[in-house]
Copies of this chain bind each other. A is one copy, B any other.
Amino acid sequence: MSDKLLIRVDVREIRSGVTQLLQQNQLLRVEFEELPVGDFILSDEVCVERKAATDFVLSIMDGRLFGQVAQMKATYLRPIVVLEGDVFNTRSAISRESLMGAISWLNVIEGIGTVHSRSAAETAAFLEVMCRHAQQGLGYEIPLRGSKPKDLNVLAQYAVEGLPSVGPSTAKKMLEHFGSARRVFTATPEELRGVKGVGAKMSEGIAQLLDHQLGKS
Contacts and interface: CB of A to CB of B under 8 A. Distances in A.
Contacts of A126: 100, 103-104
A162 B161 contact: yes
Interface in A166-217: 167-169, 175-176, 179-182, 185-186, 208-215, 217
Copies in the complex: 2
A138 interface: yes
Contacts of A185: 181-182, 185-186, 210
Interface stretch (A21-29, A49-57, A143-151): A143-151
Q: Which 8 A-B pairs have the closest CB atoms?
A: A185-B185, A162-B162, A159-B162, A107-B113, A63-B146, A141-B168, A182-B210, A113-B113
Given A97-B129, A113-B113, A155-B164, 18 more contacts: A63-B147, A66-B143, A70-B144, A77-B145, A88-B118, A100-B125, A101-B133, A103-B126, A108-B137, A109-B133, A109-B142, A114-B114, A114-B115, A145-B161, A152-B208, A159-B210, A175-B214, A181-B210
